[in-house]
Structure 1
């Protein structure tokens, strides 16, 4: 009896084991089949992707080949009206003489790019030294016709023009004007603030991108030339020094603007004042736009009523590059009436004797190794009403 029951229980255990094994085997097969389906699905997707990718690649290749995008990498096609002009972006010509002034660089990128100085003294191209005429303006150029006449007889290879206006302002000049296409990417500047220096540096940096520019003169919309182009060009190109007004003014309008927070980097004995309207050679221009340390000190501490445009460059050059500077300006200004602004001359003030008094005011100044009675090449401040009488004097008095 006991043996029979034991055998029966053993049979039941075997049956249960077989059933359990069968169920596990079914589960395994099910899982295996699901996994196989997943693997097959992945393979199908992968193969489909390869087929689509190859087809797309072939289509894209045919598209680009048809549209001639795979040309030599150093050339880009630029459409000009109906003609396609190929420009070699890596040529020396395009690097040393940018054709267009428009660019997308930030001020920091621009200053860095302009500060680059070749270590090799020889130029791999025929270099004619040019004078860069840099106009820092509030917008319009009311005396543009006078400047047009000034440049009309000049060799175009000997000068370049740069105009800094408020952003988004478009100069209203004729299609044949020398000012067409000469606006640089700009920002707002405000009288008496450090962003006036930003505008000056921005003009210098853009002009420095042209390696043929050797002299750089800062002008306003109210400036005029008092000699013809050849006279001014030869005067500047042959000068051994830059013309940046820089002197020690002990009054409250000079030393009185000094901030002791500039110590120890800038001492009162180094503090200088000068006219904003400077002229600089290429070496000095590069030094000015390359400075960050002292510019930052002026930005933090030269306010209010400090006028960084009258102190930053004169002080900086006095501290480090005084031997390169003549410590005088070549732009004549009349401060005889005092106040924060110079005298503005209207049309009724313009006479032959007045212009002659600027050309030769009875004094002499240092030029290279000797003295000269020719101290001023430009003058300001002239109102729009002065344009017509000035034009009447150009051929007889200013010789252009």
Structure 2
């Protein structure tokens, strides 16, 4: 008790000191609150900054500022940097990304519910997709074919990992390689590569038609003819037919039941041309593609059966059941004939363009059935270049 009384007496003797201590305590609490508030604000700012960076990472398009400004300057939709994200979303200029196939297919399968409506000026393009082991020996021929039509096409090249296409910045093929994976002939990896090309091409919303080509393919008509033929077609061009032999039905596996029955099974050329709508269906499919991946083993050749079967099952009315790429199988064997310089003449190219067969185009009969041809040896390039103006008209 004496000690408590002394403390009370001391407090009564120094009221100013107590008031000063109260003020100091208030200031300490106030400063602490300010510090905590600033720290919280900084954390929130860093959070939203990181989210913006994450969004950019998800989009996977790292384009220099100069390219962004250049792209935006030609847009009548917006001004300055504000348009960059939308422009690069609909027209990705840089094909380099780090998306896995699952991420890529998921994004590429997104479609707008506003059918036939685009909030930008859209000029339909044809996506030319080259599936190659490495070099493109016919590149000078294709560059001549594409020259002067830059707004009407896109190019995508899938080569073996590690290969880099060495072209000048003025080439139509400059920076047009997509992230690739190893491909083995006769395996499901070929079909994987086809879907990978389709998915990358679908990221550009102006691409309306998609044609698959190899390094040995050539065009047999000029660009204007090819573009008009494909853009105006009401159907896609995927060869799909029933082959009642061991090379067709014999490759079917009953393990695909009950989803895929023998009556659904179809065969066709790997070299297809399809519309945007069908391309979306193909990259979005997981159920039926998984069956092919698991049960269409060598010698089943998924690249000859998956797309022909899938379209036959669900979208047959949208397909012409023929290919627009001419190939000569008359020699027999697992591979078509390869043409050398001695074979390449004006009459030979004309025979491909007008080979006596007739086909349906938009429900009308036509003699123009093939727009491309294969297989041409690299040594035929010079001969072909000499024929472009006289026969192919480009």
Given the two structures, how large is their TM-score scaled by the length of structure 1? 0.80
**Residue 323 of structure 1: which of 305, 317, 321 is its match?**
317
The answer to whether residue 304 in structure 2 is matched with residue 280 in structure 1 is no
Match of 2:134 in 1: 139
**Residue 177 of structure 1: which of 171, 175, 184 is its match?**
171
Where do 5+ consecutive residues of structure 1 fail to align? 1-45
Return the offset for 1:153: 2.7
The answer to whether residue 286 in structure 2 is matched with residue 292 in structure 1 is yes
Match of 2:263 in 1: 269
**Residue 158 of structure 2: which of 152, 164, 170 is its match?**
164
Match of 1:246 in 2: 240
**SS, match of residue 311 in structure 1:** helix
CA shift in 2, pair 1:96/1:392, >3 Å: same
| Alpha-carbon contact 1:150-1:228 (below 8 Å) kept | yes
For 1:194 and 1:363, locate their aligned partners in 2 and report how far apart those are by CA, in whole Å: 33
For 2:325 and 2:63, locate their aligned partners in 1 and report how far apart those are by CA, in whole Å: 44
**SS, match of residue 124 in structure 1:** coil
Residues 5-20 of structure 1: pairs in structure 2 closer than 5 A = none
**SS, match of residue 388 in structure 2:** helix
Match of 1:129 in 2: 124
For 2:64 and 2:198, locate their aligned partners in 1 and report how far apart those are by CA, in whole Å: 28
For 2:184 and 2:175, locate their aligned partners in 1 and report how far apart those are by CA, in whole Å: 24
For 1:358 and 1:226, locate their aligned partners in 2 and report how far apart those are by CA, in whole Å: 8
Match of 2:147 in 1: 152
Where do 5+ consecutive residues of structure 2 fail to align? 1-27, 57-61, 72-79
Match of 1:358 in 2: 352
CA shift in 2, pair 1:304/1:163, >3 Å: same
Return the offset for 1:168: 2.2
For 2:353 and 2:391, locate their aligned partners in 1 and report how far apart those are by CA, in whole Å: 10
Match of 2:101 in 1: 107
Structure of larger gyration radius: 1
Return the offset for 1:175: 2.9
The answer to whether residue 367 in structure 2 is matched with residue 367 in structure 1 is no
Return the offset for 1:78: 3.7
For 1:84 and 1:348, locate their aligned partners in 2 and report how far apart those are by CA, in whole Å: 47
Aligned length: 345
Q: CA RMSD in A?
A: 3.0
Deviations 1:250-305 (A, max 9, x none): 11111111111111111111100000000000011111111101100001110120
